[in-house]
Amino acid sequence: MQEYEIVAVQDKWSELLPPKIPLRYAFFRYLGFCIKKAGIVGTTSYKAMKLGARAALWVRVTSSKGTVFESKVSSPFSDGTYYVQDLVFHDEGLHTFTISVECPVLPPIKPLVLQLNIHQFMKLSDEESLQTGPYVSLRNHFDQLLASEFVFDENESGIDRYIKEVKHSLRVCDAKWWMRAFFTQGALEAQKQRDLKNSAFTQGDRSSRRKQACPIRSGDKRDHDGYFEGKQKDVKRQRRGEIRIFVMEALHANETHVVFCKRELHQQLALYSQR
């Protein structure tokens, strides 16, 4: 049994990592973690180990594209909480958080593994844990503005005005960082949509076309040289009883597809004559 464990912390600055979150809100100002003795329940820094510089916290985030974030927190706050700062994610999908501790004075501690699913088409109401934490008032307020197709003022004056409109308990610097990340995430999402539309208009289905837009017909002409002449010879041989041709008439372009060819017929006759 492990003697110590890593615990996620939620306080006035940091929030707990939710199981899933919309892509528009996939950013975190602070994520807090602390080291406790095994068996102490709770998501606060109560009875956290205060190791100072004797321990360091490593946070690594991986996705299908590899490592997207890696940071080392060398020292905790006075209450024993290690804060990981300014995490922003621009791609949807599964993100795995691995939190490990480097501490020579403690026995090996099992890493804490958390998973975050980022969805592009998702509502805040789909995840209950997004309705708690220090940033819930900002998320709910701006989500309502998004639903009403509100045009945001992304300048500093607009950010200062939005801070006064929303009731929150955050520091001004943290609230401003959250709003800038929200606007940046929206701009990147809009740019992705524009790039997809532009690529659809410029390329179209060019990559999936079987032939060129203006093909050279000389190759097709060579393939069809003598085709109708040979077909007439086969029809005359069929009338004389030399070969039998089973055909299927198509409903377009007066095409005829030969199902049983004369070459296979001659091969079968040669095998039959050898018995």
The pLDDT of residue 237 is: 80
Nearest CA to 162 out of 149, 186, 187, 145 is that of 145
> Among the residues of 204-226, which ranges form H helices?
218-224
Burial of 242 (0-12, 13-18, 19+ CB in 10 A): exposed
Residue 251 has pLDDT above 50, yes or no: no
Q: How much is the average pLDDT of 253-271?
A: 67
Residue 242 has pLDDT above 80, yes or no: no
Q: How much is the average pLDDT of 154-171?
A: 86
Q: Domain residues of the chain, as ranges?
A: 4-203, 238-275
Nearest CA to 162 out of 148, 149, 177, 147 is that of 177
Q: How much is the average pLDDT of 254-263?
A: 60
pTM of the model: 0.68
Residue 265 has pLDDT above 80, yes or no: no
The pLDDT of residue 57 is: 92
**C-alpha separations of 222 from 137, 217, 219, 234, 235 in Å:** 73, 9, 5, 20, 22
The pLDDT of residue 214 is: 58
Confidence bin at 217 (pLDDT 50/70/90): low
3-state secondary structure of 155: coil
Residue 204 has pLDDT above 60, yes or no: no
The pLDDT of residue 243 is: 74
Q: How much is the average pLDDT of 203-226?
A: 57
Buried b (16+ CB within 10 A) or exposed e, 124-145: beebeebeebbbeebbeebbee
CATH class of residue range 4-203? mainly beta
Report yes or no: 76 and 52 within 8 Å, Cβ to Cβ: yes
Residue 235, CA atoms < 13 Å, CB-side half-sphere: 8
The pLDDT of residue 213 is: 57
pLDDT digits (tens, 9 = 90+) for 32-87: 999 998 888 888 888 888 888 788 999 999 998 899 999 999 888 888 899 999 99
Residue 215 has pLDDT above 80, yes or no: no
